[in-house]
Homo-oligomer: A and B are copies of this chain.
């Protein structure tokens, strides 16, 4: 019960293999009558072109790769979903890989993708400065950076305007009277954290709020790191009255830390999340958040990819998507006498 091949269809339709190929691929110079005959023969035999054979001949696979640090992060999962929604109707399949934010592993995975001759690559790279990254990315017919900037890369990119939303958030907090605003940022090897730190510093400057190096914490992007950062922040002699978490993982850590320290939101401390998640959307009271549309990001990336796969090579395109701050119920004026966190209180 093997699959029918072009030869089978050719025999059935009484024509040559090449004619079948031409007919099925909508090429000109096939007599309509013959075309119909081929089509019905193909239909009758349930013919499905063999992707591997086509791939070997044409060099294309009709598959694209998505490289993220962790597909189980809902942000990346949403991107994957939205991208697939745009790619699938065009016949493209989506292959995913998890870099675990390890540049070396990522390089191997990209190499594996290329070995599979994937037509395109969408990537939220672990380290924008990894050596040779630009070349690795450029080895695909089309590639799109997902909220990343790789120096000297000629790839397309979809970026988020983090500065806008974060600026709003900080102005909102300052308006409530906060002067000690902390930012738990992620790794500066990725654009998001870098832009947030820049925007944070710039906004404080503009508001004439003194900057305190203790309050701006780059680091990893894990829940654990967020937890630790918040714990340390609240043990400072002069702790912040508001904390902004740079992504959803960091926010989860922040949230757990505040819970374990027995602090109330927003009475004891104000918090702002970057990235909308189920938690920020449904929590009671609702949580302030710097939002962006991950569906739009994934869809736009897929569209850029498709455009480049279709058309002639244009010069790299950069698309910047909006972000916005939404004040809900997790920020309030700072308490007059900041509640002291007993030193040494950690998670049970």
Contact = CB atoms under 8 A, between A and B. Distances in A.
B88 A78 contact: no
A22 to B, nearest CB: 20
Nearest to A286: B259
B284 A259 contact: yes
Contacts of A102: none
A45 interface: no
Contact of A81 (B70, B82, B109, B283): B70
A328 to B, nearest CB: 12
Given A278-B278, A282-B252, A53 B51 contact: no
A25 interface: no
A82 B100 CA distance: 12
A60 to B, nearest CB: 10
Interface in A125-144: none
Nearest to A65: B93
A313 interface: no
Interface stretch (A6-14, A32-40, A112-120, A178-186): A112-120
* Contact count band on A: 35 or more
Interface in A84-119: 84-85, 88, 91, 93-98, 109, 111-117
A347 interface: no
Nearest to A284: B259
A256 to B, nearest CB: 6
B72 A116 contact: no
A116 B259 contact: no
A98 B81 contact: yes
Contacts of A70: 81
A202 interface: no
A252 to B, nearest CB: 6
Contacts of A112: 91, 93
Interface string A34-62: 00000000000000111111011000010
A95 B98 contact: no
Interface of A: 48-53, 55-56, 61, 63, 70-74, 76-78, 80-82, 84-85, 88, 91, 93-98, 109, 111-117, 248, 252, 255-256, 259, 277-279, 282-284
Given A50-B56, A72-B80, A252-B278, 12 more contacts: A48-B111, A50-B117, A52-B56, A52-B116, A53-B56, A55-B55, A72-B74, A88-B98, A93-B95, A96-B96, A282-B283, A283-B284
Q: What are the nearest 5 A-B pairs in CB distance?
A: A72-B81, A77-B77, A52-B55, A52-B56, A72-B78
10 contacts: A50-B117, A52-B61, A72-B74, A80-B96, A88-B97, A93-B116, A94-B95, A95-B95, A252-B282, A256-B282
